[in-house]
Structure 1
Amino acid sequence: MQKRLRDMTWEDYGISENRYKELKAFCLQYDEKKSKIKYGISAMQYDGQPKAHNTGSQVENQAIANDIYKRDCALIEEAAIRANPEIWRYILKSVTLGLSYEFIEYDDEQGKIPMCRRDFYGTRKKFYAILNDLKLDHKLTDIP
């Protein structure tokens, strides 16, 4: 017999306490990463000072940074949708802002969350397990 989602533990998902903390910190950077995405690549900024040590293109560096920030944000959003498409926005708000169930239970934009506290935390735990898998798969595909 399979465990109910609300009864799953970190051990059931194969996630250590330190890995959970790492995933949580990654999610808390979501708004910061979103704000660093620059739309429209800017040209070189010249401040009159020589930059002999800077051998890379500023435009190229900005494009790479944008791609990293966008992929990180997309990973978090995808994990929230996979965890539960019905409440993914609540999950996203909880994990990216560090808010408990009580603070998102009655959301101004979406209304009341359609599940109890225990089920929500079970779903949020599932989110972290999915995010863990996505991040591991993401690292494997980046290896040449």
Structure 2
Amino acid sequence: MSEETIYSGLTQLGGQTDLPASPEAAVMERVANPQPDVAYCVRFVAPEFTSLCPMTGQPDFAHLVIDYVPGDWLVESKSLKLFLGSFRNHGSFHEDCTLTVGRRIVDLLAPAWLRIGGYWYPRGGIPIDVFWQTGPAPEGVWIPDQGVPPYRGRG
């Protein structure tokens, strides 16, 4: 008889999983936080995030930094990777992509706090950076700087 664990309900981890056709079709999964009594920061960095310009269909590139303080749940990282990859053929402006990622994680996890920084590479010669957080960072949790310098081109 198999033993039930916090990983038992996962459907994507440990096997071949195709990239979802769209962010709406992507399934993000969560696992129970094994340390819910401790306030700590989790960081995911996606330095090769891609989406499409909704007007031209040309690719857009960003460096995403996602910080969150978990509550009862953690995001399962493979499902997050597949969700982020689903934007590859999705047409949306930088602001919408960045906030869609952040809000989807908040909806799934109900974390104590989340911050996302979308550092977009230039489109039309202008880099666009998008920042969002759910509120002030919780007291007593170390939240490091996102560490992404402003875009300087070949400068």
Structure with a larger share of its residues in helix: 1
Structure with a larger share of its residues in strand: 2
What TM-score, normalized to structure 1? 0.25
What TM-score, normalized to structure 2? 0.24
